[in-house]
């Protein structure tokens, strides 16, 4: 998607891996923004609001490279600000609202819905294995989730299951 619509696309597996990593960065950023918006992170010392650069780039002959450049620069800046506890819930919500508009164009993030039954069962089994300190079993269940296109992350608030980027 990062190539202008009139330019040829050179497909490589390396490019596919870069795209997967980029999608992962977006996913991680959204998780952090949602946690900040919910008051789990950051107290907010500066007001970080989204700009119009994304829309302006798209208005310039659908310059997707510049639009994505703005997106990833914004991810870098907001992540750093979150690391320094400089983003408050209001700013995080502004970015999430902006993301909804950008995602309506990019269609990167799917609508969140309930986990498929098999994934939910594996996730619960993994939680129980970790509680029982059976880390070998926990790792096996994580690998099964990965094979189905899901990622299990252990956080201070418990296990988080997300669709793996590019899956």
pLDDT (tens digit, 9 = 90+) per residue, 1-23? Answer: 778 788 888 899 998 889 889 98
pLDDT for 96 equals 94
Residue 36 and residue 91: Cα distance in Å, rounded? 9
Asked whether the predicted pLDDT for residue 101 surpasses 60, the reply is yes
Q: What is the DSSP string of 88-143?
A: -HHHHHHHHHHHHHHHHHH--SPPP-PPPHHHHHHHHHHHHHHHTT-HHHHHHHHH
Mean pLDDT of 61-71: 93
pLDDT for 38 equals 87
pLDDT (tens digit, 9 = 90+) per residue, 134-155? Answer: 999 999 999 999 999 888 888 7
CA-CA-CA-CA dihedral for 29, 34, 38, 40, to nearest 10: -30
Give residues with Cβ within 8 angstroms of 62, minimum separation 6: 4, 5
Cβ burial, residue 21 (10 Å; 0-12/13-18/19+):
exposed
Ranges of H-type helices in 38-88: 53-59, 64-83
Residue 82 and residue 34: Cα distance in Å, rounded? 11
Considering the entire predicted model, what is its pTM? 0.69
Residue 39 and residue 138: Cα distance in Å, rounded? 30
Q: Give 119's pLDDT tier (boundaries 50, 70, 90).
A: very high
Axis crossing angle, helix 13-37 with helix 89-106, rounded to the nearest 10? 140
Q: Classify the phi-psi angles of 156: left when phi > 0, otherwise alpha if psi is within -120 to 50, otherwise beta.
A: alpha
Mean pLDDT of 48-55: 85
């Amino acid at each position: 998607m990062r190539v202008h619509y009139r330019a040829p696309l050179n497909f490589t597996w390396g490019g596919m891996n870069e795209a997967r990593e980029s999608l992962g960065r977006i996913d991680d950023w959204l998780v952090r923004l949602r946690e900040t918006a919910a008051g789990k992170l950051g107290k907010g010392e500066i007001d970080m609001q989204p700009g119009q650069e994304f829309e302006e780039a798209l208005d310039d002959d659908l310059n997707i490279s510049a639009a994505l450049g703005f997106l990833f620069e914004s991810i870098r800046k907001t992540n750093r600000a979150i690391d320094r506890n400089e983003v408050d819930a209001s700013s995080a919500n502004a970015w999430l609202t902006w993301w909804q508009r950008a995602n309506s164009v990019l269609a990167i993030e799917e609508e969140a819905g309930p986990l498929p039954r098999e994934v939910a069962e594996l996730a619960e089994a993994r939680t129980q294995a970790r509680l029982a300190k059976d880390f070998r079993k926990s790792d096996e269940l994580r690998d099964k989730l990965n094979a189905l296109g899901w990622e299990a992350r252990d956080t201070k608030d418990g296990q988080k299951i997300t669709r793996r980027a590019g899956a």
